[in-house]
A and B are shown apart, each in its own frame.
Chain A
């Protein structure tokens, strides 16, 4: 560098920089909060107008909502008096006291009070099994699957329904209710719909025309009608088709309806996964001398199911939301307990309904949203291995 400076005469006034100029700070308006706002909120005139409108909308909508849900809300009380507007407190928000008072009913329904520990153990077992299945790096996940799909359903049946030799009294399913029923319906749907769905999907892709036609007709029929009608069918027609002696109880009928319905949707999800497996895989397995079921077990199903996991989980989210429909066949699921308590005269206030629904929405949203986020996480994880 100095050699360049030395090119001119000693007295040259030409200034030659010998080091790079220090970089100037970025313009004030393009960094920090202001810069972010300029690019993301006021980028174009249209965006600026939109931003102003939305800010106005938020200012109009959010404060009353926060006031209703938190600030003006009534947190404790023993009856409707607590949640009625008075001169001292003219604005009454959500009546959380009502929710607190009915929380046990929302959770257990009419399950006998002295037997509620059984339900608590069921929830604990479920949480344990779900944790084991959902934590992808958990040890012995094969054992976990055996527990979740095999041991857990059988044990919980006896735990909840009763087993007199062990001192567990029989609790009729008509007494079950609340979140318990929602979970039972969802778990039965989850546990039965996957195997049934895989069988139907395989049937649909079968080379045997009779098997294929039967599967297609079943899948398209169930997918073409609303779940409400399937449940009505299960509830009014099932008793007709079995001898009166073994007429199934109301819950079983609803469970059959939900299982068949979700199996048909699951079949379509699994079919998409099966279609992604190249034909060469089947042919290679044949060439190795593997039979049909061996090919499925070792070659086709593992990758097909793996890529389908996010869709399966999203299907479970729909299933969880659809459990609310057992409402129509007279089963006291979580939503129905809220709907029934809402009309409880001891808590009749103008805000009771809204409070009950807000609580229900919070519970359903928490369950469904976490499942959906988990599915998204799996999808990203799978995507990472695909991208390599």
Chain B
């Protein structure tokens, strides 16, 4: 471009690409700035006319509404709108975290099943993927919530789940583990185990210790440390099973039906998309690689672990990331079934009570943006590590 003869004297000033480029950019920015200023002035006028004072003052006002699921302390009488925001954010993150784990499992199982040599397995998996991908998620959520969970028997006729759980139209009741006061110690031990695992992974990647040794040590740290901590602190783990009483199920851990429905919908829907990603990734591994592994006499499971999956992961990871983000964003459909996620609490109840539309929508969008950007940043880092290093 720099060597282009565009700026030679015989070219007209108006035909100089650089001049034109600057002109268009200035025009665009001027139009944008004009639009923003105009919109802000109109909005300010409208707000004044409607007696809405803008600002974030509402953040510290008492919220005065109930939330059906709170992971952090919250009470309708004393907590503020700001606290409600954090409650909603935690609920969104809870759904996203559980959903991502389960959808990954479903997706990998179905994706591998689609490539099975068993005709029935392959076609059943394909049918699942086609059916689920071509029906809107919102419809699926409404179906799970209204037609399945609400139609379950009431607590007297609860469905008994293996392992002491109950499922009825008030939700899912699971046994909870009680560590008799040693919970913190065990959690701390688990935390140390996780840190140790990360260190081992880094060491193994750097080639400083053998991968097999690292795997063994990591497993020992992850499982062994908490067990040792539990034994050392003398805790005897007791399980609290939900018990049937006259009016309800008592004890154990209660999962509200909205969360169950949302997870079912999100996991089944996202699982189908992940399955497609996985299938495409595995199909992208060259046939010769598998044949070479067979020729070397590698058993099928080793071929999968050492040859197919490492190469397929390179292809799978970028679209997998966007599926994780989609799941997180789609969890906002919780509004439809009344699960108290960020959108339901904040852009729903709080917005209705305070009428601070601009601020609230902006905060909500900012939260999702931050989640999206941070996730893509982390995944890009990981992707850069996994990418094929060519000479």
When distances are taken between beta carbons in the complex, the residues of chain B under 8 Å from A214 are 28, 32
The answer to whether A210 and B25 touch across the interface, beta carbons within 8 angstroms, is yes
Q: Which residues of B from 117 to 172 have beta carbons under 8 Å from A?
A: 117-121, 124, 130-131, 133-139, 142-143, 146-147, 150-151
Report the stretch among A107-115, A144-152, A155-163, A357-365 that lies at the interface: A357-365
Known contacts A226-B329, A232-B361, A369-B130; A43 and B135 CB within 8 A of each other:
no
When distances are taken between beta carbons in the complex, the residues of chain A under 8 Å from B139 are 324, 335, 357, 360-361, 364
Instruction: Report Cα–Cα, A239/B142, bound state, in Å.
Output: 30
* Per-position binary interface string of chain B over residues 365-382, scored 1 when its CB falls under 8 Å from any chain A CB and 0 otherwise: 100110011000000000
The answer to whether B119 and A236 touch across the interface, beta carbons within 8 angstroms, is no
- Asked if B218 is an interface residue, CB under 8 A from chain A, the answer is no
The answer to whether A41 and B119 touch across the interface, beta carbons within 8 angstroms, is yes
- Asked if B42 is an interface residue, CB under 8 A from chain A, the answer is yes
- Interchain CB contact (< 8 A) of B357 among A55, A221, A237, A353: A237
Instruction: Report Cα–Cα, A47/B120, bound state, in Å.
Output: 10
- Interchain CB contact (< 8 A) of B120 among A54, A223, A353: A54
Report the stretch among B57-65, B100-108, B280-288, B332-340 that lies at the interface: B332-340
- Interchain CB contact (< 8 A) of B330 among A54, A208, A226: A226
- Asked if A339 is an interface residue, CB under 8 A from chain B, the answer is yes
Max count, chain A CB within 10 A of own CB: residue among B25, B136, B364, B372 = B136
Report the stretch among B43-51, B207-215, B238-246 that lies at the interface: B43-51
When distances are taken between beta carbons in the complex, the residues of chain B under 8 Å from A361 are 135, 139, 143
When distances are taken between beta carbons in the complex, the residues of chain B under 8 Å from A321 are 134-137
Size band of the interface chain A makes with B: 35 or more
Instruction: Report Cα–Cα, A50/B124, bound state, in Å.
Output: 12
- Asked if A63 is an interface residue, CB under 8 A from chain B, the answer is no
Known contacts A317-B134, A354-B147, A357-B139; A50 and B118 CB within 8 A of each other:
yes
Q: Which residue of B lies closest to A355 (CB)?
A: B147
- Asked if B29 is an interface residue, CB under 8 A from chain A, the answer is yes
Q: Which residues of A from 224 to 239 have beta carbons under 8 Å from B?
A: 224-229, 232-233, 236-237, 239
- Interchain CB contact (< 8 A) of B25 among A208, A220, A225, A335: A208
* Per-position binary interface string of chain A over residues 190-212, scored 1 when its CB falls under 8 Å from any chain B CB and 0 otherwise: 00000000000000000111110
Report the stretch among A27-35, A121-129, A240-248, A377-385 that lies at the interface: A240-248
- Asked if B39 is an interface residue, CB under 8 A from chain A, the answer is yes
* Per-position binary interface string of chain B over residues 62-83, scored 1 when its CB falls under 8 Å from any chain A CB and 0 otherwise: 0000000000000000000000
- Asked if A372 is an interface residue, CB under 8 A from chain B, the answer is yes
* Chain B interface, >50% SS class: helix
The answer to whether A365 and B361 touch across the interface, beta carbons within 8 angstroms, is no
The answer to whether A228 and B343 touch across the interface, beta carbons within 8 angstroms, is yes
When distances are taken between beta carbons in the complex, the residues of chain A under 8 Å from B177 are none
When distances are taken between beta carbons in the complex, the residues of chain A under 8 Å from B134 are 317, 321, 364-365, 368-369, 372
The answer to whether B336 and A229 touch across the interface, beta carbons within 8 angstroms, is no
Known contacts A229-B347, A229-B361, A244-B49; A368 and B368 CB within 8 A of each other:
no
**In angstroms, how far is the closest chain A Cβ from the Cβ of B321?**
13
- Asked if B195 is an interface residue, CB under 8 A from chain A, the answer is no
- Asked if A40 is an interface residue, CB under 8 A from chain B, the answer is yes
Q: Which residues of A from 303 to 356 have beta carbons under 8 Å from B?
A: 317, 321-322, 324-325, 327-328, 335, 339, 342, 350, 353-354
The answer to whether B369 and A224 touch across the interface, beta carbons within 8 angstroms, is yes
- Asked if B351 is an interface residue, CB under 8 A from chain A, the answer is yes
- Asked if B202 is an interface residue, CB under 8 A from chain A, the answer is no
* Chain A interface, >50% SS class: helix
The answer to whether B357 and A240 touch across the interface, beta carbons within 8 angstroms, is yes
The answer to whether B120 and A225 touch across the interface, beta carbons within 8 angstroms, is no
Known contacts A237-B357, A361-B135; A50 and B365 CB within 8 A of each other:
no
The answer to whether A228 and B357 touch across the interface, beta carbons within 8 angstroms, is no
The answer to whether A211 and B361 touch across the interface, beta carbons within 8 angstroms, is no
Instruction: Report Cα–Cα, A365/B134, bound state, in Å.
Output: 5
The answer to whether A50 and B121 touch across the interface, beta carbons within 8 angstroms, is yes
- Asked if A51 is an interface residue, CB under 8 A from chain B, the answer is yes
- Asked if B255 is an interface residue, CB under 8 A from chain A, the answer is no
**In angstroms, how far is the closest chain A Cβ from the Cβ of B323?**
13
When distances are taken between beta carbons in the complex, the residues of chain A under 8 Å from B332 are 226, 228-229
The answer to whether A54 and B124 touch across the interface, beta carbons within 8 angstroms, is yes
The answer to whether B43 and A350 touch across the interface, beta carbons within 8 angstroms, is no
When distances are taken between beta carbons in the complex, the residues of chain B under 8 Å from A232 are 343, 347, 351, 361, 364
Known contacts A50-B118, A229-B332, A357-B142; A368 and B25 CB within 8 A of each other:
no
The answer to whether B25 and A224 touch across the interface, beta carbons within 8 angstroms, is no
Q: Which residues of B from 20 to 36 have beta carbons under 8 Å from A?
A: 21, 24-26, 28-29, 32
Instruction: Report Cα–Cα, A262/B332, bound state, in Å.
Output: 18
Instruction: Report Cα–Cα, A237/B28, bound state, in Å.
Output: 23
Instruction: Report Cα–Cα, A244/B336, bound state, in Å.
Output: 30
Max count, chain A CB within 10 A of own CB: residue among B43, B142, B343, B347 = B142
What 8 additional pairs, Cβ within 8 angstroms, besides A232-B347, A240-B358? A41-B118, A41-B120, A47-B117, A221-B365, A225-B369, A228-B347, A243-B42, A335-B139
What 5 A-B pairs are tightest by C-beta distance, nearest first? A224-B372, A210-B25, A40-B119, A368-B134, A226-B329
A-B contact pairs, 29 of them (CB 8 A): A41-B118, A44-B117, A47-B117, A50-B116, A208-B24, A210-B25, A211-B25, A220-B373, A225-B365, A227-B329, A228-B333, A229-B347, A229-B364, A232-B343, A232-B364, A236-B351, A236-B357, A237-B361, A239-B46, A243-B45, A321-B136, A322-B136, A325-B138, A325-B333, A328-B336, A353-B150, A354-B143, A354-B151, A368-B133
